[in-house]
């Protein structure tokens, strides 16, 4: 009988290792041998679990997205007040950022960069950011629309206010990634929830 291995678990282990290396070096600069060494396996073993380097990237992206969405969904599902929901969105995102190993967060940029590259190429669209952004903006828009109907928000252009909010969250992530020492994303997002939503003008 051959060695019995939980292939799914090992695949996930490799994925985690790969994600760490992608985060450290960037996808394009990551060599298969780096991933292998990080996962403490042989170079060839990776190919027992993934078709090629691109597939690892694909899986890494989907795994990352799923983690984010699960985290957000759980936090938001139990709240009904739109204002509170908007605040919670910000707090949750901050919490996820803080909790998750920094590695996973850093990889986000490579996803962005890769998504852009794929826009003009004929390559399979692994990363469909059009859809993802639509989804996220839609989530925020729903909250805003609901709040407007309930008379809790002003009758703003919800699409673009939503895009500003989503953009702000991304922008905060960027600054956190690039300047970890001096930047606390949770505090930034708290400021958004407590100060910006109500307006900074007197």
Choosing among DNA, a second copy, none, which partner's interface includes residue 135 (Cβ < 5 to 8 Å by kind)?
Answer: none
Choosing among DNA, a second copy, none, which partner's interface includes residue 124 (Cβ < 5 to 8 Å by kind)?
Answer: none
Q: How far is the CB of 198 from a second copy (least distance, A)?
A: 5
Contacts for 57-63: CB closer than 8 Å, 24+ residues apart: 57/22, 57/27, 57/110, 57/114, 57/126, 58/126, 58/127, 59/15, 60/15, 60/18, 60/19, 60/22, 60/107, 61/111, 61/126, 61/127, 63/15, 63/19
Q: How far is the CB of 55 from a second copy (least distance, A)?
A: 18
Q: How far is the CB of 36 from DNA (least distance, A)?
A: 7
Q: How far is the CB of 117 from DNA (least distance, A)?
A: 13
List contacts with DNA (CB under 7 A): 1-5, 7, 10, 29-33, 36, 41-45, 47-49, 52-54
Choosing among a second copy, DNA, none, which partner's interface includes residue 63 (Cβ < 5 to 8 Å by kind)?
Answer: none
Place of tokens 């252009």: 157
Q: How far is the CB of 55 from DNA (least distance, A)?
A: 8
- For 97, phi then psi, to 5°, come to -55, -45
Would you state the structure tokens that stand for residue 104, as one six-digit string?
């996973």
**Exposure string (b/e) for 45-79, b if CB count within 10 Å is 16 or more?**
ebeebbeebeebbbbbbeebeeebeebbeebbeee
Q: Which is nearer to a second copy, 18 or 169 (CB)?
A: 169
List contacts with a second copy (CB under 8 A): 2, 24-26, 28-29, 42, 44, 83, 106, 109-110, 112-117, 119-121, 129-130, 133-134, 144, 151-154, 156-157, 160-161, 163-164, 166-175, 177-179, 182-183, 187-188, 190-192, 195-202
Q: Which is nearer to a second copy, 50 or 153 (CB)?
A: 153
Q: Which is nearer to DNA, 36 or 165 (CB)?
A: 36
Taking each helix axis from N to C end, the angle separating 102-120 and 7-25, rounded to the nearest 10 degrees, works out to 80
Q: How far is the CB of 200 from a second copy (least distance, A)?
A: 5
Taking Cα atoms as reference points, which of 110, 105, 75 lies closest to residue 90? 75
Q: Which is nearer to a second copy, 29 or 74 (CB)?
A: 29
Contacts of 165 (CB under 8 A, 6+ apart): 86, 89, 140, 192
């Amino acid at each position: 009988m051959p060695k019995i291995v939980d292939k799914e678990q090992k695949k996930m282990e490799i994925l985690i290792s790969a994600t760490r290396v992608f985060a450290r070096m960037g996808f394009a600069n990551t060599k298969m041998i780096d991933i292998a060494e990080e996962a403490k396996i042989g170079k060839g073993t990776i190919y027992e679990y993934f078709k090629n380097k691109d597939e690892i990237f694909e899986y890494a992206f989907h795994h990352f997205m799923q983690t984010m969405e699960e985290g957000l969904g759980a936090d938001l599902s139990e709240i009904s007040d739109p204002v509170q929901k908007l605040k919670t969105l910000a707090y949750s995102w901050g919490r996820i950022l803080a909790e998750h190993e920094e590695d996973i967060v850093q990889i986000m940029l490579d996803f962005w960069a890769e998504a852009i590259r794929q826009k003009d190429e004929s390559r399979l669209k692994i990363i469909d950011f059009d859809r993802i952004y639509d989804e996220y903006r839609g989530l925020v828009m729903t909250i805003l629309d609901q709040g407007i109907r309930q008379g809790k928000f002003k009758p703003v252009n919800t699409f673009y206010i939503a895009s500003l909010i989503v953009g702000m969250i991304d922008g905060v992530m960027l600054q956190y990634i690039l300047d970890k020492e001096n930047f606390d994303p949770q505090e930034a997002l708290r400021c958004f929830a407590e100060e910006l939503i109500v307006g900074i003008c007197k």
